[in-house]
Structure 1
Amino acid sequence: MYRSLFPRDVFAELDRLQREMQQAFDLSPTIRGFGRNGFPALNVGTTPTAIEVYAFAPGVDPAKIEVQLDRGLLTIAGERKSPLPEAEGGSRSTVHINERFEGSFRRVLTLPEDADPDAVEARYRDGVLQISIQRRAASQPRRIAVQ
């Protein structure tokens, strides 16, 4: 019924605003945290032996996706064409609502130092690009026998 113009907990509101501002200007995602609202959406996880990156890119031609790993930066780039039909005369049909991303995209992730650039695999299936980056053997935990 009655709503105050000021939040009850000013400090909680200031904390929320600070997080939103930090997310808005965070342009360099790392393996531990990402900027939001990018295409393709990413899931990143690790195992003791590998780093797994899943890029959700339905409607993208796998031949048009570029995956590069250079100096600890993983770059995923490509383009998704519009699924809308062409109207007569070569012009586009009228669009009333278009919530699906179309156009060029580029996502860059900073990987940990133990990522092995010589052991990378990329597979695309059912709209999901899976990239597996092996960790260097020297950085993996190993059991040492006590004599």
Structure 2
Amino acid sequence: MFDDLRRFDTGPFQGLDWFRQLMDEVFPEGGVADIRAVPRGSYPMINVGRTDDAVRVYVFAAGLSPHDLEISLQDNVLTLRGKREALPPDSEGESRRPYFRRERFDGEFARSIALPEGLDADLSEARFHDGIFEIHLPKREELKPRRIEIKAA
């Protein structure tokens, strides 16, 4: 009689969907977009790469000028500070509000990241082009890998 009553097949990811909804309730605004992401609201977004000679940090900050960003390095911690202004009024003097959705914030920001040991802060330099800041942090000479030549005996 009850053979026809079956549980609905919800798939193997039902538990994960439930867990995601639960996490969204617990952390509504400050949660993480996905497992590889930084917390929402982290600004500016960055990429960090390392070669044998240096560490390079790419800071993606569209709309900022070199005067809007302060970069400092102390104890292998790179700190980015600045302020992003609100959008100016349109040509008729009207404010660009009200918003239906607003993802671009304005105001002060600061972001710090730990970098590997052995960087030479005195030789560091930063460049700016099209909203991307490239920070070049060379390694100290004594820490750079050296090739050892093999001599025939």
TM-score in same-fold range (> 0.5): yes
2:38 partner amino acid? G
Aligned Cα RMSD in Å?
A: 3.2
Correspondence list, 1:1-147, <5 A: 2=8, 4=10, 8=12, 13=16, 24=31, 35-37=38-40, 38-85=42-89, 92-97=95-100, 98-147=102-151
SS of 2:122's equivalent in the other structure is: strand
CA distance in 2 between counterparts of 1:53 and 1:145 reads 32
2:65–2:131: 8 Å Cα contact kept in structure 1? no
- Whether contact under 8 Å (1:119, 1:134) holds in the other structure is yes
Which structure is richer in relative contact order (CA contacts within 8 A, separation 6 or more)? Answer: 1
**Would you say the 8 A contact 1:57–1:129 is kept in 2?**
yes
State how many pairs are aligned.
130
CA contact (8 A) 1:116 1:136 kept: yes
Cα distance in 2, alignment partners of residues 119 and 71 from structure 1: 15
For 1:49 and 1:104, how far apart are their aligned partners in 2?
33
Unaligned runs of 5+ residues in structure 2 are 1-7
- Cα-to-partner distance string for 1:41-94 (whole Å, 9 max, x where unaligned): 111111110101011101113112100001110001111111141786xx9453
Structure having the higher Rg: 2
Identity in percent: 32
Task: Identify the structure with the greater strand proportion.
Answer: 1
Q: Distance in 1 between matches of 2:146 and 2:97?
A: 61
Residues 61, 107 of structure 1: alpha-carbon distance in 2 compared, 3 angstrom cutoff: same
Question: What CA deviation, in whole Å up to 9, does each residue of 1:92-143 have, x standing for no partner?
Answer: 4532232223221111010111211112111111101110100111111112
Question: C-alpha distance in 1, partners of 2:106/2:13?
Answer: 41
**Amino acid corresponding to residue 139 of structure 2 in structure 1:** R
Matched letter for residue 95 of structure 1: P
SS of residue matched to 1:138: helix
